[in-house]
Every structure is written in C-alpha cells, then in structure tokens.
Amino acid sequence: MERPERHLLDLLAELGETAVELYERIDLRREMEEHPYRTLAIAAGLGYVLGGGLFTSFTRRMVGVGARILLLPVAQATLGQLISELEADLGEGEGPG
C-alpha cells in the first residue's frame, strides 16, 4: 500500500509541470509588456483569491456595491422603455372622438 505522502509528492510534481507548461504557453513576459495593467489586475485578483479573500465581509460588500452599479443602468433603461410604451399607449387612446 502506498503512503499518502507519495501521492502528494506526485500531485505536486504534476502541478509544477502544469505550471511550467502554462507559463510557456502564456508567454508572461510578452503579456506584461503588451498589457501591463491587465496583467497586474489578474495577478492581484489571483493573489486575493488564493490568499483567502474571497469569502470575507469586504468581498461581500464589494460584490453588493458592484451589483448595484451594474444593475442601475439596466433598471433605468427598463423603466425608460416601460414609460415610453405607456406614453405611446396613452397617445393612441387620444383620438378624434
């Protein structure tokens, strides 16, 4: 029977190989030169998630704020369209009569 440590070592070795392949495929140096801010944002986001920041009250508040910011224009557009339709329906009702 194999020891659990052996499985862990195999897993870590495979993870290391995958990381090297990913690094070579992405060409991080070129990506940093062409898109420095995007690369920085991705690195900061990954660090935040891997650092355990995903399930914190700060993240919950930021998601709430982000949702409100994103939903406000959608709600305004929907209400504007509804009002336009209501005005059109009211305009059709007024005729020579």
Compute the distance between CA of residue 7 and CA of residue 10 in angstroms, rounded to an integer: 5
What was the pLDDT predicted at 15?
Answer: 84
What was the pLDDT predicted at 95?
Answer: 54
Q: Which residues of the chain have pLDDT under 70?
A: 1-2, 93-97
What was the pLDDT predicted at 94?
Answer: 64
What was the pLDDT predicted at 93?
Answer: 65
Compute the distance between CA of residue 87 and CA of residue 95 in angstroms, rounded to an integer: 14
- CA distances, 67 to each of 21, 44, 71, 75 (Å): 36, 21, 6, 12
Every domain of the chain and the residues it spans: 1-53, 56-97
Compute the distance between CA of residue 34 and CA of residue 40 in angstroms, rounded to an integer: 12
